[in-house]
């Protein structure tokens, strides 16, 4: 064997030994901590629930029929004339049973501000937001507008009940 061949042979052998060392370390190290199997039951027991779902109430705020000019854009992103639609839904807030009286009192006390807030949010909706069958953006904005009026900690969620949420007029 020539001198260059020996050097190349040793270099290849050293690379192979180094590669084997890395592979064995990669395979053996994850097992050092022991295998921890997470079961669904254990996971669910760790979850903390504020209040069970049975202890909440759906409280009707109002029935809404809101005409609005929903903003619209063409495929290029340019604004086009708005589409006149009527949004129709019943709005419910979800709160704990013990907060029901306070929420009802807040609804009566802030009726005008609530209606103005809800109408303003709906009238700022776009056609894309109306086409979302869950109305996720609209619901999020409504929740943000309602919570300060009825109590940040009292209102857990809102529900919109509708058969046809909007129609062109």
pLDDT by residue (tens digit) across 55-114? 899 999 999 999 999 988 877 878 889 899 999 999 999 999 999 999 999 999 999 999
Domain match, 128 and 157 both: yes
The domain containing residue 29 runs over which residues? 3-36+39-46
Domain match, 95 and 162 both: yes
Domain match, 73 and 138 both: yes
Domain match, 90 and 12 both: no
Domain match, 18 and 57 both: no
Terminal-residue alpha carbon distance, the chain: 92
Q: How far is it, in rounded angstroms, from Cα 133 to Cα 119? A: 19
Domain match, 63 and 140 both: yes
Q: How far is it, in rounded angstroms, from Cα 67 to Cα 85? A: 6
Domain match, 23 and 62 both: no
Predicted local distance difference test score (pLDDT) of residue 116: 97
- Say whether pTM exceeds 0.95: no
- Evaluate whether 160 touches 89 at the Cβ level (below 8 Å): yes
pLDDT confidence band for 32 (50 / 70 / 90): low
Beta bridge partners of 13: none
How many domains does the chain divide into? 2
- Evaluate whether 59 touches 29 at the Cβ level (below 8 Å): no
Domain match, 12 and 72 both: no
Domain match, 61 and 140 both: yes
- Evaluate whether 113 touches 149 at the Cβ level (below 8 Å): yes
pLDDT by residue (tens digit) across 127-160? 999 999 889 999 999 999 999 999 999 999 999 9
Q: How far is it, in rounded angstroms, from Cα 46 to Cα 40? A: 10
Look at the block and give the residue holding tokens 């809404």.
64
Domain match, 76 and 134 both: yes
Domain match, 99 and 157 both: yes
- Evaluate whether 156 touches 56 at the Cβ level (below 8 Å): yes
């Amino acid at each position: 064997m020539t001198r260059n061949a020996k050097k190349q042979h040793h270099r290849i052998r050293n690379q192979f030994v180094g590669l084997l060392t890395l592979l064995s370390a990669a395979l053996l190290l994850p097992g050092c901590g022991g295998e921890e199997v997470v079961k669904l039951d254990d996971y669910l027991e760790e979850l903390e629930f504020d209040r069970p779902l049975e202890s909440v109430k759906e409280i009707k705020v109002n029935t809404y029929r809101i005409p609005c000019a929903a903003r619209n854009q063409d495929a290029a992103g340019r604004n086009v004339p708005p589409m006149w639609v009527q949004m129709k839904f019943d709005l419910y807030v979800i709160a704990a049973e013990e907060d029901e009286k306070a929420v009802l009192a807040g609804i009566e006390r802030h009726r005008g501000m609530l209606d103005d807030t809800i109408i303003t949010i709906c009238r700022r909706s776009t056609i894309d937001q109306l086409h979302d069958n869950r109305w996720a953006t609209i619901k999020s904005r409504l929740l943000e507008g309602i919570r300060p009026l009825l109590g940040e900690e009292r209102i857990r969620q809102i529900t919109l009940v509708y058969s046809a949420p909007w129609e062109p007029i």
